[in-house]
Amino acid sequence: MSTSPPAEGPRPADGPSSPAVGQMLLVSGPSGTGKSTVCKLLGEDPRVQFSISATTRPPRPGEVDGREYHFVSKERFRELIREGAFIEHAEVYGNMYGTLRAPMEDAIAAGNIYLVEIDVQGALQLMALDVPGLYVFIAPPDFETLRRRLAGRGTETPEILERRLRKAEDEYRERVKYDHVIVNDDLDRAVAELRRITGLEERA
């Protein structure tokens, strides 16, 4: 099994990338399409390692340092930027967030899947930086289903739900930029498809 990361270069517009473990797997898509549900199931495989970002945002109740995020001071975050520790970083609602380089490199070198679950904006940033990996867009079966799932999750006010649905339509247009689009109709089928395209199934 190769332990080197895949070569950099343009990704095929719609063709499959070579199935292999030891790579970044980026999972993205509009809010409510099932990214975290799918990623949680995929993460049951011990060869899958979740990316944990660093942030200057204070932890919310129940959040644990090193589990949801690495919580750091603004000063430490600036130091990490200077050290080149981030692949990308951004300010969101006044707080800084960044994807750390070293854990990704270590996971890939160890032959694992480094799973980055990120919103569409963040995914486009990583594509623009030519970060090698498999870019997967999780699509809703249709927008009515997406509305039902978002409403059913019960985490959004009606106003935010409408805003997210409008944003989802814009984000949906970006799916053509990804290596794969997985329609999350049946959860088990969607996870199985992800396992297949990452090579996890083949090497089970």
Which of left, alpha, beta for 2 (phi over 0: left; psi -120 to 50: alpha)?
Answer: beta
CA separation for the pair 49, 25 (Å, rounded): 10
- Applying CB under 6 A, does 57 fall inside the site for ligand 5GP? yes
Which CB atom, from 34 or from 98, has the smaller least distance to ligand 5GP? 98
Which CB atom, from 72 or from 184, has the smaller least distance to ligand ADP? 184
Instruction: Classify residue 71 as exposed, middle or buried by CB count within 10 Å of its CB (0-12, 13-18, 19+).
Output: middle
* Rounded alpha-carbon distances, angstroms, from residue 138 to 70, 98, 162: 26, 22, 19
Q: Which does 32 bind (CB under 5 to 8 A by kind): ligand 5GP, ligand ADP, none?
A: ligand ADP
Minimum distance from CB of 199 to ligand 5GP (Å)?
25
Q: Which does 57 bind (CB under 5 to 8 A by kind): ligand 5GP, ligand ADP, none?
A: ligand 5GP
Minimum distance from CB of 64 to ligand ADP (Å)?
19
Name the strand (E) or helix (H) holding 42.
Answer: helix 35-42
Task: Name the H helices within 60-183.
Answer: 74-82, 101-109, 120-128, 143-153, 158-172
CA separation for the pair 9, 13 (Å, rounded): 12
Binding residues for ligand 5GP restricted to 79-138, rule: CB under 6 A: 88, 90, 92, 97-99, 118-119, 122
Contact call for residues 32 and 149 (beta carbons, < 8 A):
yes
- Applying CB under 6 A, does 53 fall inside the site for ligand 5GP? yes
The residues of the shown chain that bind ligand ADP, judged by CB under 6 A, are 29, 31-37, 149, 152-153, 184, 186-187
Minimum distance from CB of 175 to ligand ADP (Å)?
14
3-class DSSP state for residue 176?
helix
CA-derived radius of gyration, the chain: 17
Which CB atom, from 85 or from 181, has the smaller least distance to ligand ADP? 181
Residue type, 204: A
Which CB atom, from 21 or from 38, has the smaller least distance to ligand ADP? 38
Which CB atom, from 86 or from 172, has the smaller least distance to ligand 5GP? 86
Which CB atom, from 48 or from 200, has the smaller least distance to ligand 5GP? 48
3-class DSSP state for residue 92?
strand
Interacting residues with ligand 5GP (CB under 6 A): 53, 57, 88, 90, 92, 97-99, 118-119, 122
